[in-house]
Structure 1
Amino acid sequence: MQSANDDPLRQSDVMDPARARAMQVALGRVPDIAAGAPMPPFFHQLYFWSPEPPDRLGRDGHPKVGGIIPDMGLPRRMWAGGRLQFHAPLLLGVRAEKVTSCESATRKEGRTGPLAFVTLRHEIWQDDALCVTEWQDLVYRHDPDPNAPRPVPPVAATDEDVAQPHSFDATLLFRYSALTFNGHRIHYDQPYARDVEGYDGLVVHGPLLAQHLMLLAEAGLGPLEHFRFRATSPLMHHEVGTFCRKGRKLWVRGPDGRQCMEAEA
């Protein structure tokens, strides 16, 4: 276990309805959210930006580790999954506070080399009430070995009751990166994604996949109380993903039948 900064990070932001409407447009939805309305699940990703100057950024465009996330000497970062508890609606147009702490940071040896697992805990408060608790699971690893065999992703189920196809082009990835202030270069810099991190194209944001799954779950099940998701294989910007639900189980199926994400509401 590595030591992390014990002091939580505190941020405040007004839940600007204009930003939520921009997200609706980016997702192909009607921009109808107004101040005072409850925020759709996971739209809090659009807020609480943490801009850093250029000298505080890593090679991948993310803020350098060493603050609330300890530096464990591994350059590649991936959002591996997360869990959320929705206690009360977040209202648009109202100031909120986000409190972030590092719950755990562990380095282990995996089949492909060393791995670091970091879990951040986020609490979002509004009017002195806890509205959302989120656990964000991150994985850090070494650069890929071009001679090593690629991991075989799991095969996705095909027995869904509901299926929605979604495509992701470079413009959508740019807009989502801008709305969430995510500078990770794997989402907009194709030479970097291909030549440095070994991907076949631009990588669709894990939280963007999770966002579609949460909206799919909410449409079929009503307001969410809990949601968890786990990324199992990256989806590229030139691929169409199929977003599936069977009861409370959800998943993303790639065009070749692989499972890209699994979730439960």
Structure 2
Amino acid sequence: MDISKWIGNSFDISDTMATEQLQKLEALMNGDPDSVSEGSEISPCGHWIYFNPPIPQADLGINGHERNSDFLPPVELPRRMWAGGKIKFKKPLKSGVPADMKSTITKIDEKEGKSGELCFVTIRHQISTRGAVAIDEEQTIVFREESEKGAHPIRTQPLDIDPEWRKSTKPSSIQLFRYSALTFNSHRIHYDQDYAREMEGYPNVLVHAPFLVHLMIDAFTSKADGKVISEIKYENVGPVYLGEQITICGKSIDNTKTALRVHGSEGKIAVKAEVQWTYNW
């Protein structure tokens, strides 16, 4: 099947941007939910807790994903992961102010990697509110073959920056549950240990890649001294499994950019990112 025909396929969805949803994100990130009210600005990447369609239970496959998507191409590879992306924050989204998202498949690349056949699907998400584009996002999803029995993805890239600051944390099963609930993500690799081990060959459930990006942004913001993120580029280069201690670290590149990393206790990278920022004086 020629899946390149899916390039240009699009999907539209609207959201009320409910204040209660943003309060729950604030609670998950150990902030103060009472600080969020109608009209509060949605933090960078906070839009990921919105625009998640209510797919009926009967339409889900064994892995928890939609069985027959009208939007994504029918890639004949069983494993699906969030590979990375780039986001430009053009204007703030606000809680309680409705927004619209148009998603369009812009590229499909089929490759042969060390772990076998791979298919990268790039999607452009444009989110508009009050007649103007607020977020312009490029997201890449990777489909891959099943791992050989006894093998599973590991982190391999060594830490490549000399950090100016560090913050360590250990994501818990409660956090993973709450993030899955917030994003209406039913992919079983994030909460079903038996499925993750027996069906997909992982040693434990995986921490959501976008949740790791949220943790990076939260750590950067706590060190930022008035810096406001205008753009982020990130790449998920290795997994983080439940129970692992991870370190989030950062280093200034120049007067407007900071490199961010998530790495494990052995010093190998899980997520690489670069944020561009301005001062909010």
Per mean C-alpha deviation after superposition, the further-off stretch among 131-140 and 211-220 is 211-220
Partner of 1:28: 30
CA distance in 1, matches of 2:53, 2:186: 11
What is the CA deviation profile of residues 1-57 of structure 1, one whole-angstrom value per residue up to 9, with x for unaligned ones? 622164421111111111111111111112211111211111111111212223322
Indicate conservation of the 8 Å contact 2:153/2:239, yes or no: no
Q: How big is the alpha-carbon RMSD for the aligned residues of Structure 1 and Structure 2?
A: 1.8
What is the CA deviation profile of residues 48-75 of structure 1, one whole-angstrom value per residue up to 9, with x for unaligned ones? 1212223322221011354221012001
SS in 2 for 1:224: strand
Per mean C-alpha deviation after superposition, the further-off stretch among 12-21 and 102-111 is 102-111
Indicate conservation of the 8 Å contact 1:173/1:187, yes or no: yes
Per mean C-alpha deviation after superposition, the further-off stretch among 91-100 and 49-58 is 49-58
Q: 1:182 aligned to 177, 181, 185, which one?
A: 185
Describe the shift of the 1:152–1:33 C-alpha distance in structure 2 as closer, same or farther (beyond 3 A). closer
TM-score (norm 1): 0.94
Describe the shift of the 1:174–1:131 C-alpha distance in structure 2 as closer, same or farther (beyond 3 A). same
Partner of 1:8: 10
Partner of 1:131: 134
Describe the shift of the 1:231–1:149 C-alpha distance in structure 2 as closer, same or farther (beyond 3 A). closer
CA distance in 2, matches of 1:72, 1:13: 28
Indicate conservation of the 8 Å contact 2:152/2:203, yes or no: no
SS in 1 for 2:5: coil
Structure 1 runs of 4+ off > 4 angstroms? 147-152
Unaligned runs of 5+ in 1: none
Partner of 2:259: 249
Opposite residue 18 of structure 1, the aligned amino acid is E
Q: 1:226 aligned to 226, 231, 246, which one?
A: 231
Indicate conservation of the 8 Å contact 1:99/1:123, yes or no: yes
CA distance in 2, matches of 1:139, 1:256: 25
**Percent identity between the two aligned chains:** 33
1:263 maps onto 2:278 in alignment? no
**1:180-219 map, 5 Å:** 180-219=183-222
Indicate conservation of the 8 Å contact 1:163/1:244, yes or no: yes
SS in 1 for 2:6: coil
Per mean C-alpha deviation after superposition, the further-off stretch among 1-10 and 127-136 is 1-10
CA distance in 1, matches of 2:144, 2:5: 18
Describe the shift of the 1:68–1:150 C-alpha distance in structure 2 as closer, same or farther (beyond 3 A). closer
Unaligned runs of 5+ in 2: 253-257, 276-281
Cα offset, 1:106, TM superposition: 2.2
Q: 2:57 aligned to 41, 54, 57, which one?
A: 54
CA distance in 2, matches of 1:150, 1:184: 17
SS in 2 for 1:225: strand
Describe the shift of the 1:214–1:73 C-alpha distance in structure 2 as closer, same or farther (beyond 3 A). same
CA distance in 2, matches of 1:79, 1:149: 16
CA distance in 2, matches of 1:158, 1:94: 39
CA distance in 2, matches of 1:120, 1:131: 17
Partner of 1:17: 19
CA distance in 2, matches of 1:149, 1:185: 16
TM-score (norm 2): 0.89
